[in-house]
Structure 1
């Protein structure tokens, strides 16, 4: 049986961490070598919660960011495979077993799993989040990438192409997995390896889009003024209704005309916030150079 280490970055996650770790310590897979929680400077009770479970808890505050925390965790591993999830995710009890099964039954070096959403109020904001965020099936099959909310990686790949981009606040997982595929490694999608993720309310959603934009701004800092202006301008445009319907259909969801209109405006606001974050991400890089 192949050995697996699990890495969970953590920052002020006291509301969700217990459920995540409870699931991880009760996984059906027998050869989980390590469950590593990397606390990235939490000011709540996250570390106390982590210490109450039979997991390896580390403090890492040199760089604020989940990718830097994951990189620190990677350096502590000693397994053939590394699985990643987030502190606000709840893996199914056979999550690791399914990831490993997909890995062993294919020629893939990376496996991205399914991200399902838990709704609390079924608001427009939650519907938008569920239909646009972390659609890992589409990422894997159409873009050759995956989110770290549900990802299995052969550990030696990090030795070959390097770690996650530690300076990015968002999007570093998609960038790294795409780089791995472009370097000749193969990625596959595992529908049966599932984790649950809570949908975001309005404030959480706006924060997420700002963070996404900030990370994108960091990534395009050296792209030239014309490209930068183009990318910012695109962020200010609303998504067509056809895209909204496509996302709903892809997630086996339907909506009334009123809900479609609400989703249109919620998406537009999110895109403008993302554009603002993108500008600040570019500026922060320019100022630091």
Structure 2
């Protein structure tokens, strides 16, 4: 079984060499590596010249990760197309594990877990444990069909799909730009077409999570915009339904905050109920992290609570702004 590993990269001088070294040293040998340089203006191009065995294609200007993934796929020869990102690190038997699943299971795609490579950084550990973590985890192997399951999602940083499936679905949709949810969109279209995705707890990739709070909040704002585009495309998906319910309640409860603070409704029970509803956006991450604080005896979880509140609100703002702007229509 011949594989094509496709990596979109923009300004990846810090990580691209390490990732390519890891890919070249894979235990599975029947594969090609394709890098699409998406208009990088750092030293990425010069680093790529050192790897003669790697097929490199260049975008004259940045066209986005989805355009680059599609370009890499169109230039590939593999029966299976494997995707990861430049800021990831892979295990030596990564490809071997992917192949074994395709050989043993009747599935169209394989998704794996993502862990923080830089766990020595506080904000990376937070993202690993956030209530809205961008890094999928699977406690056990599961096969998705028809639709997603709650809190089960996939990411292209650790994703492999059959060539014929990519062809039938016309690849990734560039309408998502750089917002995210493009991987969820592709996965959902695959599931709705009758395909199956094997989510493996054994296939792991390690990602360099963001370590700047401003960059994290900006990214979650962008995630929110991606969620809106996904919901407009696929309103019937369980992911869209849960996102709509969550954000609608968040907006309502947030609107009740000034009511609870400045308006006396004349009834102690009604006032208390309003206070309770207004506090739910804060209680949810508080209870979530206290549960894991007790379960794992990790006091650092206390510090994650205000960060998750910020993350939740920046995501909700992104959803609202994208909805008002009409993105994805």
Write the deviation string for residues 119-147 of structure 1: whole angstroms up to 9, x where unpaired: 35342x22221122212427984356421
Cα 1:280–1:57 change in 2 (3 A) is: farther
What aligned pairs does 1:117-128 form with structure 2 within 5 A after superposition?
117-123=116-122, 125-128=123-126
What is the DSSP-based 3-state SS (H/G/I as helix, E as strand, rest coil) of the residue aligned with 2:229?
helix
Cα distance, 1:229–1:242 mapped onto 2, change above 3 Å: closer
* TM-score, normalisation: structure 2: 0.75
Q: Which residue of 1 aligns with 2:157?
A: 149
Aligned to 1:104: 103
What is the Cα deviation at residue 283 of structure 1?
Answer: 4.6
Say whether 1:167 aligns with 2:181: no
- C-alpha distance in 1, partners of 2:38/2:140? 27
**Structure 1 residue 41, shift from structure 2 partner:** 1.6
Deviations 1:191-232 (A, max 9, x none): 3322211232123322321221121233345799xx998665
Q: Could you report, residue by residue, the CA deviation over 1:87-114 in whole angstroms, capped at 9, with x for unpaired residues?
A: 0001111110111011111112111122
Residue 218 of structure 2 corresponds to which residue in structure 1? 207
- Counterpart of 1:80? 79
1:207 and 1:103, CA in 2 relative to 1: closer, same or farther beyond 3 A? same
Contact 1:4 1:31 in 2 (8 A): yes
Kindly name which structure, 1 or 2, has the bigger radius of gyration based on alpha carbons: 2
Unaligned runs of 5+ in 2: 143-148, 236-240, 252-280
Query: Do 2:37 and 2:56's aligned partners in 1 also have CA atoms closer than 8 Å?
Result: yes
Could you tell me whether the CA contact under 8 Å between 2:285 and 2:308 is conserved in 1?
Answer: no
Distance in 2, Cα, partners of 1:43 & 1:139:
41
Aligned to 1:9: 8
1:129 lines up with 2:127 in the alignment: yes
- Following superposition, the deviation at residue 26 of structure 1 comes to 1.5
Contact 1:232 1:279 (8 Å CA) reproduced: no
For 2:208 and 2:58, locate their aligned partners in 1 and report how far apart those are by CA, in whole Å. Answer: 25
Root mean square deviation of aligned Cα: 2.9
**Does the Cα contact within 8 Å between 1:60 and 1:72 map onto a contact in 2?**
no
Question: Cα offset for 1:265?
Answer: 0.6
Q: Give the match for residue 319 of structure 2.
A: 278
20 and 161 in structure 1: CA distance in 2 versus 1, 3 angstrom threshold: same
Residue equivalent to 2:298:
255
The equivalent residue for 1:192 is: 202
Match for residue 36 of structure 1?
A: 34
TM-score (structure 1 length as normaliser): 0.84
Q: Which runs of 5+ in 1 are unaligned?
A: none
- Evaluate the alpha carbon distance shift between residue 222 and residue 158 of structure 1 in structure 2; reply closer, same or farther with a 3 A threshold: closer
Between the aligned partners of 2:56 and 2:62, the Cα distance in structure 1 is 17
